[in-house]
Amino acid sequence: MAEKGDGSRRGRGITRRRFIMSVGAASMAAAASGRVSAASEKQGPLIMQSTGNPETKIKLRINGRDRHLLVEPRWTLLHVLREELGLTGTKIGCGRGECGACTVLANGTPVYSCMTLAVEAKGTEITTLEGLMDGEKLGVVQEAFLEKDAYQCGYCTPGQIMAVEGLLRNNPDPNLREFQIGVSGNLCRCGAYVNIFRAARTAAEKRK
């Protein structure tokens, strides 16, 4: 059996002294944590105090109408359209610019509203699904999607319609490959692409 001063055990494992010291330190930390928790319960949850008013006044041009809004700089255009203005035709999908369900037009070009800050949209003409309608009358692309049954669950349909609308505004007579590229940023989980392309072609013909 090694003597107390035997160097063969030094630095190996945890000695009794180290064990006692570590247990004591842990006990002190737990006691301190308990006092902090008790104090927090008495004081209630901590709230970060703002150093100033984080909201910004902006004017957005949406579906041909000026909207004066008070927004936070972090708000997306998607949030403002749905939660502040009630334009729920624009859908929440992935929230990170992958599925295209939130597609709207900015100066006629399809963009992901979930990836666009509301403050970035100042000075652009924003068109949503609602903006394609004339009162209760559907727009040409909307009618074509209905006619050709270009949907199944329908969740991606608003974004698909806006993508086709944007394509036709910039290219009135696209071929199949151009249609495919035009909606390539919009995912249909049901796989209704064949009818989506048929609807897009029908919409192009109706516009002629």
Distance between CA 159 and CA 164 in Å, rounded?
Answer: 9
Q: If you average pLDDT over residues 36-55, what whole number do you get?
A: 46
- State yes or no: pLDDT of 62 exceeds 70: yes
The side-by-side arrangement of strands in the sheet containing 103-106 is: 65-71, 56-62, 125-127, 103-106, 109-112
Whole-model pTM: value is 0.74
Domains of the chain, by residue range, sit at 56-207
Q: If you average pLDDT over residues 129-152, what whole number do you get?
A: 97
Residue 28 confidence class, pLDDT cut points 50, 70, 90: low
Q: Count the neighbouring beta carbons within 10 Å of the beta carbon of residue 163.
A: 24
Q: What is the DSSP string of 160-193?
A: HHHHHHHHHHH-SS--HHHHHHHTTTS--TT--H
Distance between CA 184 and CA 198 in Å, rounded?
Answer: 15
Distance between CA 127 and CA 140 in Å, rounded?
Answer: 15
Distances (CA, A) of 102 to 77, 147, 195: 10, 23, 20
Which pLDDT value is given to residue 208? 86
Which pLDDT value is given to residue 160? 98
- CATH fold for the domain made of 56-207: Ubiquitin-like (UB roll) (3.10.20)
